């Protein structure tokens, strides 16, 4: 986003993983970053680390994206403090241990829909009026390899919500391109983040070392955010070179 004005980014799920890495990379590029999430202590640690390094500044904002009214209030708070929102990074997302058709629970399904899908929509709607008024704005929705390729391991709820985020992103571009707005669906394969601990079988340290690392996605987020306003990066599908899904397919031949 090439302009001479103050650049303000809102990163959800910023207390760890991809969101944290994105916030750090954006701040290193000079952005003012509002980092939101549900855990105050984690947010404060991220913000403290960013602000100690110089470059852009960071602020913490405790938020549960599954609560529509709270999301709207958060957007208004950011606008009141900074006057604009140039970038939204929807990185808040979860999965559950019980994720197969055999053991999945309706409460788990509802949780994933509320955070992984509804939360994305709530945040997009909350920033839309300000971005339209600016005639400029970028949204990066962190989806997943599971949003493009159906496989057993992520489970039906996670796979469904991430497919929906992909569709939501493209639908946004169809409507809002005429207003100078653009959205990118960032779909990474396996990333070595804390969410891996919720898997029924947690990958080994050696396996995680071969995965994408959070900083890889941070660099990708900063790249998309740094493109000029006439460029829309509609979608990025990114994986580690050692892609375990490809390796498994090769071994089953």
In the prediction, which pLDDT does 217 show?
Answer: 98
User: Does 47 map to a domain?
Assistant: yes
User: Does 127 map to a domain?
Assistant: yes
What are the backbone dihedrals phi and psi of residue 140, each rounded to the nearest 5 degrees, phi first? -120, 115
pTM of the model: 0.94
In the prediction, which pLDDT does 1 show?
Answer: 44
Count of structural domains, the chain: 1
Assign 3-class secondary structure to the chain: CCCCCCCEEEECCCCCHHHHHHHHHHHHCCCEEEEEECCHHHHHHHHHHHHCCCCCCEEEEECCCCCHHHHHHHHHHHHHHHCCCCEEEECCCCCCCCCCCCCCCHHHHHHHHHHHHHHHHHHHHHHHHHHHHHCCEEEEEECCHHHCCCCCCCCHHHHHHHHHHHHHHHHHHHHHHHHCEEEEEEEECCECCHHHHHCCCCCCHHHHHHCECHHHHHHHHHHHHHCCCCCCCCEEEECCCCCHHHHHHHHCC
Active site residue 158: yes
User: Does 3 map to a domain?
Assistant: no
Angle subtended by helix axes 17-28 and 214-226, to nearest 10: 50
User: Does 91 map to a domain?
Assistant: yes
Rounded to whole angstroms, the Cα distance separating 94 from 108 reads 10
User: Does 143 map to a domain?
Assistant: yes
What is the domain extent for residue 121?
8-251
Rounded to whole angstroms, the Cα distance separating 16 from 19 reads 6
Nearest to 232 by CA among 186, 173, 175, 188: 173
User: Does 2 map to a domain?
Assistant: no
CATH code of the domain covering residue 198: 3.40.50.720
Task: Given the residues 122, 145, 158, 172, select the one marked as catalytic.
Answer: 158
Rounded to whole angstroms, the Cα distance separating 90 from 35 reads 11
In the prediction, which pLDDT does 253 show?
Answer: 64
In the prediction, which pLDDT does 3 show?
Answer: 45
User: Does 247 map to a domain?
Assistant: yes
Long-range Cβ pairs for the range 172-180 (8 Å, 24+): 172/124, 172/139, 173/232, 173/234, 176/128, 176/132, 177/232, 179/131, 179/132, 179/135, 180/134, 180/135, 180/136, 180/137, 180/229
pLDDT tens-digit profile, the chain (253 residues): 444 578 999 999 999 999 999 999 999 999 999 999 999 999 999 999 999 998 889 999 999 999 999 999 999 999 999 999 999 999 999 999 999 999 999 999 999 999 999 999 999 999 999 999 999 999 999 999 999 999 898 999 999 999 999 999 999 999 999 999 999 999 999 999 988 887 888 899 999 999 999 999 999 999 999 999 999 999 999 999 999 888 876 676 6
User: Does 1 map to a domain?
Assistant: no
Nearest to 139 by CA among 180, 184, 83, 99: 184
Rounded to whole angstroms, the Cα distance separating 75 from 94 reads 22
In the prediction, which pLDDT does 249 show?
Answer: 67
């Amino acid at each position: 986003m090439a302009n001479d004005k103050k650049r303000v980014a809102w990163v959800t799920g910023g207390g760890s993983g991809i969101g944290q890495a994105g916030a750090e990379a954006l701040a290193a590029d000079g952005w003012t970053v509002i980092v939101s999430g549900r855990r105050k202590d984690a947010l404060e640690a991220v913000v403290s680390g960013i602000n100690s390094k110089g470059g852009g500044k960071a602020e913490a904002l405790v938020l549960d994206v599954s609560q529509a009214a709270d999301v709207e209030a958060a957007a208004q708070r950011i606008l009141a403090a900074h006057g604009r929102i140039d970038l939204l990074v929807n990185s808040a997302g979860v999965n559950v241990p019980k994720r197969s058709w055999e053991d999945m629970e309706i409460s788990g399904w509802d949780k994933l829909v509320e955070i992984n899908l509804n939360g994305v929509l709530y945040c997009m709607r909350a920033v839309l009026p300000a971005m339209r008024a600016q005639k400029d704005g970028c949204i990066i929705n962190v989806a997943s390899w599971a949003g493009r390729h159906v496989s057993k391991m992520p489970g039906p709820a996670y796979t469904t919500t991430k497919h929906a985020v992909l569709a939501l992103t493209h639908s946004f571009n169809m409507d809002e391109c005429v207003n100078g707005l653009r959205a990118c669906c960032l779909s990474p394969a396996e990333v070595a983040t804390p969410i891996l601990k919720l898997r029924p079988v947690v990958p080994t340290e050696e396996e995680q070392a071969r995965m994408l690392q959070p900083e890889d996605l941070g660099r990708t987020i900063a790249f998309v955010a740094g493109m000029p306003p006439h460029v829309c990066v509609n979608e990025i599908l990114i994986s580690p070179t050692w892609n375990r899904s490809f390796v498994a397919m090769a071994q089953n031949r």
